[in-house]
Structure 1
Amino acid sequence: MSWQRPAPFVIDIEVLSEHIDGLGHVNNVVYVGWLEDCAWRHSQSLGLGLDEYRRLDRAMAVLRHEIDYLASARLGERLQMGTWIIDSPRGLKMTRRFQLLRPADGVTLLNAQTTFACIELSSGRPRRMPEDFVERYGRALVDL
């Protein structure tokens, strides 16, 4: 397989019947859910789960998704989604990139980028990232 960047955080995905739309392939909304799942699982692996978010009264909320759908996924296929943090997580924002691969043939099905903003959970307002976020997300930063 050909990851576009080194050392991705990777999740395995199996395309199930509930992922398929009327056109016989994975629905676009499902891909967005996979992006969220991959990002969330990566955050948890860095020690930033929901309990930590609540303790710090901070969370990373999606500001923008940019998705390039390159090929369709179909029922029964096994896929892998990788993610990378691509900019220094400081201040208010952080950016992740994603790549969805079909290992059977090495085809990239999707490339995406998501921009997150740090918010204060108690108010919903934008706030600077706490040092724990800067340090833990910074561990995962990939040089492009």
Structure 2
Amino acid sequence: MSKNELPVFKQTFDVQPEHIDDLNHVNNVIYVQWVNDIAVAHWKEVATEHLLDTYNWFLIKHTIEYKSAAVLGDSIHVSTYVGRATNVRYERFVEIRNAKTDELLVKSTSDWCAVDQNGKPQRITDELRRVFEVD
């Protein structure tokens, strides 16, 4: 399945003073937080109550590439979609772009493991796969 066929979850927000570092741009740690936040928000948007009560996700591998800086007052688009799934992992992609210019600021690829409420890894079931599929 190509990226264009995958459902993309998006959020938009403005860079705040607390996001800025000593170099007067968004701190790299904030981008990592946004990558986590969009993944959690996406899960909460698509999952049923049963799935939310049954599963959590644990980040097991994370790659982030910084392309350009955002500054105070910039409006930011954060988008995510999932890729391949194995027995216990789901691949997730995130892009962070300047909302005004569409310039790519950050891209990230990560692997997430489904876990039960006790933190024990769980198999990616058909039910879990269906929540991320295109209708």
> Does structure 1 residue 71 correspond to structure 2 residue 83?
no
In structure 2, relative to structure 1, the CA distance for the partners of 1:86 and 1:132 (3 Å cut) is: same
| Alignment match, 1:128 | 123
What is the aligned counterpart of 1:106 among 80, 84, 102? 102
In 2: Cα distance, 1:48 partner to 1:76 partner: 35
Deviation at 1:92, TM superposition (A): 0.2
Task: Check the 8 A contact 1:85/1:97 in 2, yes or no.
Answer: yes
In 2: Cα distance, 1:85 partner to 1:93 partner: 11
| Alignment match, 2:32 | 32
TM-score, scaled relative to structure 2: 0.86
Q: How many residues align?
A: 131
| Alignment match, 2:12 | 12
* Structure 2 unpaired stretches of 5+: none
In 1: Cα distance, 2:106 partner to 2:30 partner: 12
In 2: Cα distance, 1:29 partner to 1:72 partner: 13
Task: Check the 8 A contact 1:84/1:140 in 2, yes or no.
Answer: no
In 2: Cα distance, 1:48 partner to 1:35 partner: 22
In 2: Cα distance, 1:48 partner to 1:86 partner: 20
The percentage of aligned residue pairs carrying the same residue is 23
Any idea what SS the aligned residue of 1:106 has? coil
* Structure 1 unpaired stretches of 5+: none
TM-score, scaled relative to structure 1: 0.81
Moved over 2 A (4+): 5-8, 51-54, 129-132
In 1: Cα distance, 2:56 partner to 2:43 partner: 11
